[in-house]
């Protein structure tokens, strides 16, 4: 499971002209899921995400987590995080899970993040054509792959 985390002052996702998720200060997280992902990846990532110290403390040092600042999370599915571009110019998405595998894992990640954060997580709509707006704060952008824990 791969995530791209962006520290934001606000973010939203719109599908067919309707806002499906909106947050204030917190994290916009794009997630890509592959067939080998499971509960262990979800548990590890959720813990890592909610405890990641990327928010400024009173002295301007990135020393606080999204939980510490009572921030929010907007989670958006994005299969293109598993794009393979080694050969040719057209990305291959062969490693990205198909919806029958990815949707249950995506829903489990939403639930786990909400549990670990202590509040509901805003989302897009899996597989939809989404328009994402954000104001990246910093900018701070962090890539995490659950297959690279070591």
Q: Of the residues 6, 55, 79, 123, which is catalytic? A: 79
Dihedral of CA atoms 28, 34, 35, 37 in degrees, nearest 10, equals -50
Q: Give the Cα separation of 31 and 89 in Å (integer).
A: 23
Q: Of the residues 9, 51, 80, 115, which is catalytic? A: 80
**Is 141 noted as a catalytic residue in this protein?**
no
**Is 78 noted as a catalytic residue in this protein?**
yes
Angle 42-51-118 from CA coordinates, rounded to 5°: 75
Question: Comparing C-alpha atoms, which of 137, 127, 110, 108 is closest to residue 27?
Answer: 137
Structure tokens, 74: 């907007």
Report CA 111 to chain centroid distance, whole Å: 13
Kindly report the length of the chain. 150
User: What residues are labeled active site?
Assistant: 78-80
């Amino acid at each position: 499971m791969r995530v791209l985390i962006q520290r934001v002052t606000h973010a939203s996702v719109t599908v067919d002209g309707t806002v499906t998720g909106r947050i204030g200060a917190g994290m916009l997280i794009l997630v890509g899921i592959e067939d080998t992902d499971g509960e262990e990846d979800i548990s590890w990532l959720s813990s890592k995400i909610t405890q990641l110290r990327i928010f400024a403390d009173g002295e301007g040092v990135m020393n606080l987590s999204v939980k510490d600042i009572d921030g929010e999370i907007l989670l958006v599915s994005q299969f293109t995080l598993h794009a393979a571009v080694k050969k040719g110019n057209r990305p291959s998405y062969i490693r990205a899970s198909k919806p029958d595998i990815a949707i249950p894992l995506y829903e489990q990640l939403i639930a786990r993040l909400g549990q670990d954060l202590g509040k509901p997580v805003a989302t897009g709509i899996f597989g939809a054509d989404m328009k994402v707006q954000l104001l990246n704060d910093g900018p701070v952008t962090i890539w995490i792959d659950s297959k690279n824990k070591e």
